Each structure stands twice: as C-alpha cells, then as structure tokens.
Amino acid sequence: MTLIQPTALSALAAIPLIVLLYILRPRHQRVVLSSVRLWQHIASDLEGRPRWRLPIASLLLLVQLLVAGAVAITLARPSIPGAIGQHLILLVDTSPTMLATDVAPNRLALATQDARQLASALKPDDRATLIDVGPSPYIVASGKGPHALDQALDSLTASPEPGDLPSALALAAQTADLSRDTHNRVVILSDGTFAPVSLKDVGPMPADVSYQQVGGSDENQGITALSARPMIGSVNRYLGFVQIANFAQHDAKVGVRATADGLQIYNRTLTIPARQPVEVSLTLPQGTHLFAVSLDTQDKYSRDNQAEVLVPPAQVLPVTVVAADPTVWERALKTLPTVRLKTVTPGAYKPDDAAVTIFDGFVPAALPSGNVVMVAPPPGNAQFPVSGNLSAATVVQTDDTNPLFDSVDLTGLYVPQPERLGSMPWAQPIAQTTSGPILLEGQVNGREVVVIGFEPTTTDWPQRIAFPVFVANVVQTLAPRSFPAQIEPGTALDLPPVTGADTVVARLPNGKADVFSQVTGPIRFTDTNQLGDYVVSYLSGSTPLAQHEFVASSLGISKSDIAPRVDPQVLTQTGSPAGKPTQHEVWPWVAGGALALLSAEWLLFFRRLVV
C-alpha cells in the first residue's frame, strides 16, 4: 500500500493532543452538599488525583483516538498499486479515398471496425481517444473503458478533402503528453494515400506508434482535370478539355460520356494505358453553360468518375502588357478573342483599369488596382525581392491542383537563369526547380498576383503549346469575379447580399435546398461537401432578383490515386515511457470506518446522558 499525500499524516499530531487533554487534571471546586449517594456511579476519573496522572482507560478515549488516526490516514489517501494504465489514441483517416471499395464495404468502414476491436481490448480504467484525420484533425471523443468510443466511431464520415496526417500526429503527441502517467499507444488506421510523412517531422511523441494499413488496391480510373477554354479565333465558342488517368498497373477500357447542358456530345470507350493519363478535347456547342463528363468503369473508387465545370460567359477582358519586347505575350494573347490587349513600354506605363496587367522585367512604383502577373522582376525592387540568379535548373514539380496548370505540364522545362526570389510571406510556391521555387501565387492588398521567376524567352517554353494554354489559364483565373465559379468541396463561402432580397435559396447537387430568411448581410454558406452544381437564388417574396452558380469539384492526380504511398516503418515507434501503476484508493473505506466510530462515540455519549 502507498500514500498519495503522505504529508497529510501530520494530522496524527491530534492523537497526543487528545491524550494530553485527558492527562491534564481538571481544577475541581469544593461544594458542600447534603449527600453524595446519587453521585456514586460517576466514573472515578472525576475523583481528585494528581494533575499528570495517566488517563484512566476509557472507551470514549479509545474511540476518539481511532477517529483521529482514521481522519489522518484518510487525508493521506492510502492506495493499493495496480496494473499500469493504458491510453489508446486512435487516428482514423477520413480522406475521400477511404471510400474505396477494394475492401468490403469500404476502407472507412473497415478502419472503424478495426478501431472498435482495438478499443474492446481495454480494461474499464483504461482510456481511449479518437482523432478524426480529416483536413482539420480534431478529437472526436475521449473516455474510459472498452466502449468509450462506440458512439463516436459510428459518427465518422468521409471528409470532402484529403486528411492532414502531420497535424493529426501533432495533436496525438499533445494528447499523449497530457497523460504521461499511462502507457500511451497511438494507432494510425489509414489507406496511406497521403504525401510521405515521418514521425521525425512531428517531434517528440511520448507514445508507442503503429501504422495499420487499410486497403491497398490501385484499381482506379478517374477524371483528373476538366476545363472549358475559349476557342482560339472564335467569339463565344469554347473547347472542353478532359484528362482521364489510369492508376492501375494494366491497361483499362473506360467508357467516356460528355454532355453540354444535359445533351450528349461524346460517348466512346477509350483504352487508357497503365499508369498514364489520356486527354480529350471537345468542341462545345455555342451557348453551353454546363460541361459535364462521366466515366463507365469497374474500378474501386467512384468519387472521381464524374465532374462538371461551368463555361464562363463571353466578356471582353482588358489586359495590359508592360514589356520592352511584348512579342511572346502578344502572340499568346491575340489568340483569345475575349481579350482587349494593350501594350506599353516600361517608361510610358501609367496604372490603368486593366483586369490583368503583365509586367515583364519591370516593377512599377505603384501596382494597378487589377490583378498582376510579375515576370522576372529585376533585382533591387522592394515589392518582389530578388537577390540575383541561381544556377541553371529544371522544373521538377508543379501544383497540379492549381488552375494555372490545367492541361499545362512544365515538368522538365530547362531554365538557364532562374532568379533567386526573396521572402514573400503572402505567396505560395506553385512550381519548383532543382534550385528552388520558380513560380509563386498569392494576394497583395486584395489583388491576385502571380510571380514568374525567370524570363520565358530564355527557355523553349514560348515554343511549346503549353505556353499559350498557360497564358489563357492566367487570364481566365485572374479575371475578376463577384462570385467563384469553382470551389473545392467543403469550402465555406460568404454569399454576398443583394438589395431587396429577403430570402436566399441554395440548391445542392442532390436536389435539396438550404433556405436563409431575413437576409441583412453576407451569409456564411458551409454546406458544400457534395460534388456537383450549386445554384444560389435571391428572392424578394417569390420574385427572383439574382442568381449565382458554382461547381464543387475535386480534381487532380494526387486526389485520385488510391494506392498506398506511405512507408509504415517511418510511422512506427516503440520504447515509449511505460507509465505508472494505477492507484486503487482505499481512503473511502477508512473514512467510512471513521464515520462509524464517530457514530459509536455519539451513541455511547448519548446513553451516558440518559442513564
């Protein structure tokens, strides 16, 4: 037996004090009475005796001493050591790929079942914690016993976007750090389709860590890119581009069906080579509003078998090019019929109302109000710091989820003089070379800015078809919009108010509608987890005033590859602190005994009074 608060034994000092009270002889007062016969039954300790004589044995004294001792022991919290407590921390991946059906009924259901089995082995005093590994990991539930997570596991659903495992591991480390008295064990249940990550990247983890693979098939064919771009040389005509990738290790036959506003414009069976993409371009009928593509395939992941994109309405877009030699930009921009092009030399430039301004080798004193493309900014400028040139490099990676690289592959592009770009906290790199980032994108004071850290004419990029396509993507992406045409699933939108509207109706892809009444300002709309077309209508009573439309789509190579990409060894750790034995406290029994003794003392004292 051990004492949790041994210092509380100082309360035992009350025992000698009680004995001292009994030792001290009371000062008797002599009183003359007619007879003492009625007092003969009084205890002899009332008789005169020496002041320091030992107290006469008394049941009351014994009870009081036992109660004082019991109270002191209770305060010291005696306990009996037991087994070392366990803390099971379960990280369940809820990425979209966990809906793959290569295991029955799907990966997420199997992971939930495995998690339940792990928790069922816990003892009643063991603790369990469940972390949802979604885009923003969080603790779903925590409690004691083998059934503490049952309800929380039943509530798990797939997230609209891939999970953030590094953040989930950091959260698990914090959770384990708060329970160092137990033996912590972290179990990751995932299909491993995330980017490579290691426990070394997370930091100290006071727990044993293991990785449990769920699923593992690569049998999937999916739509990885879909767009509609203006047809070169035509007004209000668009080409639809679709990229279909086969992630399996064998060729696959896939039925491809495309529609324009619900009318079929393409229906063929294509053979997609193993681990390769195939691109199809289609001429869209004039006036097409919604371009949709669906696949007929017997793969193991259906979420990427259909996609939609809104065809932007034709509008004249003013674009200004500021360059000493604008030839390459003029050649690409003049093929876009909706662009009203203006070129000017750096010395003659003055800010104008252009929707997009391309600065080539020149940084103005003040940026225009519209969006900006900054190409090869010169060293020494304050807004886009450049500290010289890097050694010749090759583009090795681009962000395939960024619309600027829609149908654009820069991998392998040789850049003889890439710039050494300085710190730009507002920007994110979207293309990397062997020497560092070469393309960045971000926002500066409300305007979208793209930075290209090299001069295109020093490469063979302008001679590739990828260059005019990239320029078209830049113009289409940076064109000002009051409302986004495409979002990632799960993105929260602020629906702008419309004067006179008292009701806003948001129709979801599944036909259901979210209704907002008494509209007085922007509305935070978060019900965007479904893939497909959303229509937002503004009403005054029953009269429609305005309408916005957008599409939620999840495209990209990385989002459709359901094969594992993780090394379990880098997510395995043993030898964590063993924890401390659990303490089964017995002070309630001691306190109960003290209470019983107090009750006995009171009964004894009461009986003496009534006798």
Helices (H) and strands (E) in the chain, counts: 9, 33
Alpha-carbon distance 8 to 588, whole Å?
Answer: 15
Return the axis-axis angle of helices 587-610 and 59-75, rounded to nearest 10°.
160
3-state secondary structure (DSSP) of residue 20: helix
Closest Cα to residue 197, out of 570, 544, 605?
Answer: 570
Nearest by Cα to 381 from 365, 368, 369: 365
Give the pair of three-digit tokens for residue 521.
């300002």
C-alpha 440, offset from chain centre: 24
- Ordered structural domains, the chain, with CATH: 2-81+585-610 (no CATH), 86-217+562-578 (3.40.50.410), 221-310 (2.60.40.10), 317-478 (3.40.50.880), 486-551 (2.60.40)
Q: Is the full-model pTM beyond 0.95?
A: no
CA distance 229 to 245: 21
CA distance 150 to 155: 9
How many Cα atoms sit within 13 Å of 125 on the Cβ side?
11
Q: Token match 């029955």: residue?
A: 104
Do 345 and 334 form a contact (C-beta atoms < 8 A)?
A: no
Residues of the chain with pLDDT under 50: none
What confidence score (pLDDT) does residue 449 get?
A: 96
Give me the amino acid identity at 168: A
Q: How far apart are CA 431 and CA 405, in angstroms?
A: 10
Cα 362 to Cα 128, 367, 508, 528: the distances in Å are: 59, 11, 46, 41
Token pair of 179 as six digits: 């329970």
User: According to the model, what pLDDT value does residue 597 have?
Assistant: 72
> Cα–Cα distance between 228 and 291 in angstroms, integer?
8
Bridging pattern class, strands 371-375 and 356-360: parallel
Please report where in the chains the tokens 């009573």 appear, as a residue.
541
pLDDT at position 74: 78
Cβ neighbourhood burial of 443 (10 Å; 0-12, 13-18, 19+): exposed
pLDDT in tens, 166-187: 999 999 999 999 988 899 999 9
What region, left, alpha or beta, does residue 390 occupy, with left being phi > 0 and alpha being psi -120 to 50 degrees? beta
pLDDT on residue 129: 97
Count of CB atoms situated within 10 Å of the CB of 580: 13
pLDDT tens column, 546-584: 899 999 998 888 899 999 998 899 999 998 887 776 666
What residues contact 474, with CB distance under 8 A and at least 6 apart?
356, 373, 404, 450
Shortest CA distance to 273 belongs to which of 255, 256, 254, 258? 254
| CA 247, 248, 252, 257 torsion-angle sign | negative
Report pLDDT for 407. 79
**2-3: strand order across its sheet:** 2-3, 78-84, 581-585
- pLDDT score for 81: 64
How far, in Å, CA of 474 to CA of 235, rounded?
19
| Distance between CA atoms of residues 191 and 103, nearest Å | 11
Burial class (CB in 10 A: 0-12, 13-18, 19+), 92: buried
